[in-house]
Structure 1
Amino acid sequence: MSTLLSLLLGLAALLVLLPAAVLCAQVVLACLPPKTGPGGRLQRARIAVLVPAQNEASLIVSTLASIAAQLRDGDRLLVVADNCTDQTAALARSAGAEVVERQDQQRRGKGYALDFGVRHLQQSPPEVLIIIDADCQVGAAAVEHLAATALANARPAQALYLMNAPAAAGLKVQVAAFAWRMKNLVRPTGWARAGLPCQLMGAGMAFTWDDLTRVDLATAHLVEDLKLGLEFAALGKAPLFCPQAVITSQFPSSQEGLNSQRKRWEHGHLGMVLAEGPRLLGRAVLRRNWPLLGMAVDLMIPPLALLTLLSVAVFAINLLAGAVFGLLWPALLAGLALCLLGAAVLLAWARFARASMPFSVLLYAPFYAARKIPLYLGFLLKRQVDWVRSKRDDN
């Protein structure tokens, strides 16, 4: 009986130790000096920027202005006004964008809007298509860097996509912004240092036109970007991280908007882990597709709050079992997982977030994780499966 209990506790400890170890490795790699190579002239492609938008009247003009400033003659800026009931289409046209409108209450989701836009561009396709969400701001030269990276490597390119906390945001939003920075800056930077690809992040994605013809964009998947990146990796086209291109957005300040956004992202991510993670790991090993293996391993890391909750719970259970039954090695493994996770978070904060977030905010992180327990219980009891647009602050 004690042997079986020891194995079960050890397995639980191993399940939190492995992702904690990978996360720690990513953070350490991200802190290494960047690789430098010979500079070169960026290759300029014919570019189309596709902006899917659903009721984004309050933000669309600012977003389009940040994109249009980087386009040249012959480039296209296309807005797909998807199931809009506000002035998004009219404002986009007045800002100089090409606009197509889509109304389909049955096939809802960003993937369908992207597919609609791509089919519209088929008559005169660009060399490179860049996807920017309608609530984003595009950093200087981001379009140029993304297009050049995708074209030169014949692989999708992913910008550094950051979400910032609004001014005077509370502790929850500041911790969420740090977790986002961990996921979208620190982890892909670390993997890039190791020569491994990154996940697609939803905004700031660039594709050659030939690559786009190999995938099906029309999907209502909750994390269609994550799914798309893994599909490209399986085809030998794993996405490249392009941190020189910076795309920024902002977390909703309303609690309703935060909750819906968080639920869609995390339920979608966990669904992908369970449905695709083990299969992708096996497929990558059997085919010796090391870029896909890198992405699959990265996929298997749970959201930071969930990994924290699991690590604390497993350590507490193993510690109790050690005291009652004298089983030490599972508790040691669980303790190691907790130490690696803590070290990764502290190192990431010191290297990548110290200037934007005081250490006192980081002390709130365990309470932030605890407040997300209902979200994870909801995944087990009533998982979200339909795509729902996050509520903005003004609608």
Structure 2
Amino acid sequence: MLIVFEVLYYVLLVFLAIPVLTFCIQILVAVLPGYRNQKINLQTASVALLIPAHNEAAGISDTLNSIKKAATPNTRIVVIADNCTDNTAEIARSHGAEVTARSHETLRGKGYALDFGIKYLSDNPPEIVIVFDADCLVHQDTINALVQSVIKDGRAVQGLYLIQSKPTSPVKTKLSEFAYVVKSWTRPLGFYRLGLPMQLMGSGMAFPWSQIAQADFSHGSIVEDMKLGIDLAGQKMAPKFCPEAFVSSIFPEHQEGEKTQRKRWEHGHLGMILQEGVPLLGRGIKSFDLDMVAMALDLCVPPVALLFLLSGLFSLLSLILYVSGNETFPLMLGIMQFLLLSTFVLIAWVKHGTKIISLTALLAFAPVYAISKIKMYISFFGDRQTEWVKSRKD
């Protein structure tokens, strides 16, 4: 029995070492001093903004108003009214947007809407395409910054996209916001400083027309943005981070809506790790492509709550080995990696989390929050979410 535990321990050590070390390196580089935002210049390239929208009548006005304030010259605003049963299309037209409607009984989701939008643009293609969600706010200079980055790098770029909680939101939502900030800001900033790529996040994505015109959105993935970023990395055109561009939205206030959103994100991410992460890492190593390796390593970092749970399990196995055979070395490894991960979570909180949640609340509720998600992670193996479902926000 002890041998079985030892084998399980060292297998888990190998599987955990890669994401834990990747996470810690990203956070470490992100907190180093010296980074300054680039100067944003007025850009004149022809731009099309694609906004997939499914029953977004309640909030699309705010989105379009923010976009119009940030729009550059030669900008088209195109709303894809996807399987809408409300007056989203009419509201979008009243704000001066082009509207193209799509309806399909079975092929539903953002990926199919984007595929439809790209085909709509193909008759008069722009130089650059930027994708925004229909429930976000686009902040000043964002469009200029994205266009400037695409022109500079000649590839897809991802702006800083944050999903925020309201001041009155419960602690669980604050923890979700902090976890999302680490994923979409702190970790990408670390890789950005190293000249490495980042994942696409869904809103605030910008592409040269030549790239997005050839992209495959019609595969029905529930994390179509992540899948596209991996595809681009496989073509040696991995997306870059553009921290000067800022897009924000709000977590669903409805508990069921937030649960649905979280399950879609995390099941989709875990599916991508299994299907794409290891193969992409192997291809990157074989071809000596650092961007591809970095993209695979970043992809293989699971949601921070799951990483915390796995690290805790690893520490428990270390304790079992110590009690069973008085083996100090495994116990030290288990405790060290758990402390390392916990320390860098706290460092990330110091960098980008102090205005989101207090240290007391983080320390008190983070373990409970992680444990509460065990059922969702287990359901990945028996009740995996594979279809796109719109999150209820109200």
Q: Same fold (TM over 0.5)?
A: yes
Q: For residue 388 of structure 1, what is the aligned residue in structure 2? A: 389
Matches within 5 A, 1:1-395: 2-3=2-3, 5-35=5-35, 41=41, 43-363=43-363, 364-393=365-394
Distance 1:14 1:236, change over 3 A: closer
Distance 1:38 1:129, change over 3 A: closer
Contact 1:322 1:331 in 2 (8 A): yes
Alpha-carbon distance, 1:13 to partner: 2.7
The letter for the 1-side match of 2:373 is K
After superposition, the C-alpha distances for 1:134-168 in whole angstroms (9 at most, x for unaligned) are 01000111001001111221110100000111230
The letter for the 2-side match of 1:172 is K
The letter for the 1-side match of 2:179 is A
Distance 1:200 1:382, change over 3 A: same
**Distance (whole Å) between structure 2 residues aligned to residue 214 and residue 27 of structure 1:** 34
> What RMSD, in angstroms, separates the aligned Cα atoms of the two structures?
1.6
The letter for the 2-side match of 1:383 is R
Alpha-carbon distance, 1:38 to partner: 8.3
The letter for the 1-side match of 2:98 is E
SS at match of 2:252: coil
After superposition, the C-alpha distances for 1:56-88 in whole angstroms (9 at most, x for unaligned) are 111100001111122245310000000011111
**Distance (whole Å) between structure 2 residues aligned to residue 194 and residue 166 of structure 1:** 33
**Distance (whole Å) between structure 2 residues aligned to residue 125 and residue 163 of structure 1:** 30
**Distance (whole Å) between structure 1 residues aligned to residue 295 and residue 261 of structure 2:** 23
In terms of mean alpha carbon deviation, does 245-254 or 16-25 score higher?
16-25
**Runs of at least 5 residues in structure 2 that lack an aligned partner in the other structure:** none
TM-score (norm 2): 0.96
**Distance (whole Å) between structure 2 residues aligned to residue 37 and residue 137 of structure 1:** 20
SS at match of 2:197: coil
Contact 2:2 2:324 in 1 (8 A): no
Alpha-carbon distance, 1:35 to partner: 4.3
Contact 1:17 1:333 in 2 (8 A): no
TM-score (norm 1): 0.96
SS at match of 1:69: helix
Distance 1:252 1:211, change over 3 A: same
**Distance (whole Å) between structure 2 residues aligned to residue 183 and residue 202 of structure 1:** 13
Contact 2:66 2:137 in 1 (8 A): yes
Distance 1:320 1:199, change over 3 A: same
SS at match of 2:220: coil
Contact 2:26 2:187 in 1 (8 A): yes
SS at match of 1:237: coil
The letter for the 2-side match of 1:391 is R
Alpha-carbon distance, 1:276 to partner: 1.1
After superposition, the C-alpha distances for 1:326-345 in whole angstroms (9 at most, x for unaligned) are 23333222212101111111
The letter for the 1-side match of 2:342 is G
Alpha-carbon distance, 1:36 to partner: 5.5
**Distance (whole Å) between structure 1 residues aligned to residue 41 and residue 103 of structure 2:** 42
**Distance (whole Å) between structure 1 residues aligned to residue 311 and residue 37 of structure 2:** 40
How many residues are paired up? 393
Contact 2:47 2:129 in 1 (8 A): yes
**Distance (whole Å) between structure 2 residues aligned to residue 13 and residue 122 of structure 1:** 49
Contact 2:78 2:99 in 1 (8 A): yes
After superposition, the C-alpha distances for 1:190-230 in whole angstroms (9 at most, x for unaligned) are 01111100100000000010111232122310111001001
SS at match of 2:70: coil
Runs (4 or more) in structure 1 with deviation over 6 Å come to none
In terms of mean alpha carbon deviation, does 128-137 or 316-325 score higher?
316-325
After superposition, the C-alpha distances for 1:159-185 in whole angstroms (9 at most, x for unaligned) are 000011123000100000000000000
**Runs of at least 5 residues in structure 1 that lack an aligned partner in the other structure:** none
**Distance (whole Å) between structure 2 residues aligned to residue 332 and residue 170 of structure 1:** 36
